[in-house]
Amino acid sequence: MREIALADLPGLVGQEIGVSDWIEVTQDRVNLFADATGDHQWIHVDVDRATKEIGGPIAHGYLTLSLIPYLSSGLMRITGVTRGINYGSDKVRFTNMVRVGKKVRMRQKLIGCEPKAGGVQIKNECTIEIEGESRPACVAETISILYGA
């Protein structure tokens, strides 16, 4: 895991922060997400029908997006931070389906860093890749505000 001081973040703008480990998107994860969100569309949860009609179930796009905090957790530790908040997202695109059983990982690049609301606002470009496929599942710009001591 990369470690950097909060004050040194501006020097990383434009650089890749890192690439996460691969994780498998399981049917159990998809079903739990469906239960949590109430989105039980058959393409996600009806394995038999999805297999017959579209070649197998696919993960929800928002499930893929929701993996960003988990996938980024092992990439970088920022020292000097007392708290951080999720400020939102800018561009979010679902560019490819994630079939159940596939593995995904995230490539993260710091694309912005500026003072904001008594802290530092950072923007990351998060690209969620699918093992064995050239087109990513999701590309999103996430925004956080970090506060230091």
Residue listed under structure tokens 């480990």: 21
Q: Quote the pLDDT of residue 71.
A: 97
Q: Do the bridges between strand 138-148 and strand 81-94 make them parallel or antiparallel, or are there none, so unpaired?
A: antiparallel
Hey, how many other C-beta atoms are within 10 angstroms of the C-beta on 65?
Answer: 17
Residue that wins the pLDDT comparison between 118 and 56? 56
Radius of gyration of the chain (CA): 17
Task: Express each pLDDT in 3-37 by its tens digit.
Answer: 999 999 999 999 999 999 999 999 999 999 999 99
Q: Are 125 and 100 in contact, with CB atoms under 8 Å apart?
A: no
Q: Quote the pLDDT of residue 117.
A: 84
Q: Quote the pLDDT of residue 46.
A: 98
- pTM here is 0.93
Contacts 24+ apart (CB under 8 A), 49-57: 55/99, 56/99, 56/100, 56/101, 57/27, 57/30, 57/99, 57/100
Task: Express each pLDDT in 116-142 by its tens digit.
Answer: 988 999 999 999 999 999 999 999 999
Task: Express each pLDDT in 64-78 by its tens digit.
Answer: 999 999 999 999 999
Domains in the chain, please, with CATH? Answer: 2-148 (3.10.129.10)
Per this entry, what is the length of the chain? 149
Q: Given pLDDT bands bounded at 50, 70 and 90, which one contains residue 2?
A: confident
Measured distance CA(89)–CA(69) in Å, rounded: 13
Hey, how many other C-beta atoms are within 10 angstroms of the C-beta on 73?
Answer: 11
